[in-house]
Amino acid sequence: MVLQALIFPRKDLEAKICDYRYGKRFAVQQNTDSGLRLFANFQLFQAFKYGIKYTMFTNAYNPGGGTALSNTEYVNMVGTGLVELEHYFSTDKWINPVTGLDELIPDHSSKGWTNLGATYFNVNAGDPKAELFPNHGQELYDISGGKYGYDVVNGVAGVSNLSELKGIKERQTAWFDSLELKPCSAFSYRNGRDISPEVYKKLYLFGRQSNTNGAYYYYGKSKIDGIALGNDLQQSRKDLVDRRITTRWVDSYISTNPGAQEKANQLLRDKTMQAYTNRGAYTDFSHHHSAKTNQALEDLCKTLGTYLDSSGLRNECWIAGFGELSEYYWFRELTKKAVATVMHSKVYITLLWEDLKTIQNGLSDGILLEQLNTPLSIEIDLTGTPLADKSIKSTGGKLMRLGNNKYLVDFPFRNAVEGIKSVVLEVGEGNYYDNVSLSVSYYKNGNQVTIYTNKDTRAVVFTTSTDIYSIAPVLYSNDLNTSHTFNIDTANINYVGVVDELGKTRLIEI
């Protein structure tokens, strides 16, 4: 037998694994579900106006019905970079293990068992039952006598081997694939039914439950100084697929209690400051449609965006998608350390991983590595190296100049999974994030308008015949460019929003 030793490269320079993407100090995350058109259109307008990215949890079953966004509208919104789509998991559905049909779990929403329920489960037709029952996992296992579901206590799958659950995820994956969207890495529970979260570890990195914990900002521990980010907790895979949210702004806002609206807005400010103070991740879930009107919904992005600006916190905040948060968290957690080695006038950045071969994509604490699509941010100082004071390029992702020979380097997960693989920095013309302030102007000739920006952006034209509360995005230019030309309806009131790769936005009337 020949033994092979893996020799890790020497450390010549510090290579810091950033707590958050782009080297930010803390994170703020907004999310909603259903994708109802009236509110989604206005919220995208607000996202451009106040620079707030958000996540919509939705699915192939079109939970918003006839008032929901179409597939094309979803794709266009996600293409701006200001909207992230993740999975709204239909906890009331299964792929029938007997027929293979995609349908509601028998009698799930009923208050009594019917003949259908008695066909699949060990129950009697006519007997009363709890509403929104049974759910995937332990409940299905118990009620079927082990035919379906998963026995959490003993770690045993039913005879179906969870086909009823896996099939729902497969349908969602197929829908995302058909839209050519980034695969889901996170999900939320329909109706808040976070029963047996263990079974979802096989499918996702993070899961969002419906309950709040106003003190929850957990984001692991810093690889730079070992400080707990947000909360000093031990969170398992099970905990993170059943992750609490910090607040539900809209529920507080629509309360009939005196002063409810300002209290809800102040809560956004206070929780944002707390996340900054403890270097944590603040997540807020709000049903946009629960605000009832866009006039009420306006306060959400307005309060958060203006506070980030007035407090001076925006430049230290990663305004992330929920899925992005989950991917960066696990990429960082899987990395023991990073080193930078100088060889032959180049700098090699190498990550030392946990033992990835022990990680299984089963019902264990294993990570679904294929879902890690958000790159790790590595900070490096090239002072005193052959690359100092020179233009450099990277074999990995993009670069960001920090000044005085310091850089942020994107490290894509694909660059190192097994063995030793590195991102290499060398002299050349690199691909850089442009971190300067975003400016915009336009030239109008009849109904044709051309938008000019000082760096690459995406652009959207919004139009209304009345006021901004009934506004809709009508024209998209989602390819990064410094100019965008549109033919607009001059009889209406028109706005254009632009956004760069880093999420910086501007909104102007044209």
Euclidean distance between CA atoms 45 and 506, whole angstroms: 11
Confidence band, pLDDT 50/70/90 cuts, at residue 422 = confident
Which residues are within 8 A (CB) of 379 and not within 5 positions of it... i.e. 6 or more apart?
15, 16, 18, 23, 402, 406, 407, 408, 409
User: Residue 179's pLDDT is what?
Assistant: 93
Min mean pLDDT across 207-221, 291-305, 409-423 is at: 409-423
Nearest CA among 275, 338, 307 for reference residue 25: 275
Min mean pLDDT across 125-129, 193-197, 361-365, 494-498 is at: 361-365
User: Residue 108's pLDDT is what?
Assistant: 97
Instruction: Please give the model's pTM, rounded to 2 decimal places.
Output: 0.95
- Give the Cβ contact number of residue 229 at 10 Å: 23
- In the predicted structure, residue 235 carries a pLDDT above the cut 50: yes
Mean pLDDT over each residue of the chain, to the nearest integer = 93
Query: Which segments of 59-115 are extended strands (E)?
Result: 83-89, 93-95, 102-104
DSSP class of residue 114? -
User: Residue 8's pLDDT is what?
Assistant: 77
Nearest CA among 89, 59, 80, 81 for reference residue 71: 59
- Rounded to the nearest 5°, which phi and psi values hold at 33? -140, 180
User: Residue 2's pLDDT is what?
Assistant: 43
User: Residue 61's pLDDT is what?
Assistant: 85
Q: Report pLDDT digits (tens) over 347-397.
A: 999 998 776 544 443 344 567 888 999 999 999 999 999 999 999 999 988
User: Residue 414's pLDDT is what?
Assistant: 76
Euclidean distance between CA atoms 265 and 150, whole angstroms: 42
- Sign, CA dihedral 155-158-159-160, equals negative
- In the predicted structure, residue 271 carries a pLDDT above the cut 70: yes
Min mean pLDDT across 129-133, 353-357, 430-434, 492-496 is at: 353-357
Strand, helix or coil for residue 295: helix
- In the predicted structure, residue 87 carries a pLDDT above the cut 50: yes
Q: Report pLDDT digits (tens) over 290-340.
A: 999 999 999 999 999 999 999 999 999 999 999 999 999 999 998 989 999
Helix, strand and coil in the chain, % to nearest 5: 30, 30, 40
Q: What is the mean pLDDT of the segment spanning 472-478?
A: 98
Confidence band, pLDDT 50/70/90 cuts, at residue 4 = very low
Min mean pLDDT across 334-338, 362-366, 414-418, 430-434 is at: 362-366
User: Residue 380's pLDDT is what?
Assistant: 98
- In the predicted structure, residue 241 carries a pLDDT above the cut 90: yes
Confidence band, pLDDT 50/70/90 cuts, at residue 9 = confident
CB 21 within 8 A of CB 318: yes
Q: Which two tokens stand for residue 185?
A: 């890495």
User: Residue 34's pLDDT is what?
Assistant: 80
User: Residue 416's pLDDT is what?
Assistant: 53
DSSP class of residue 111? S
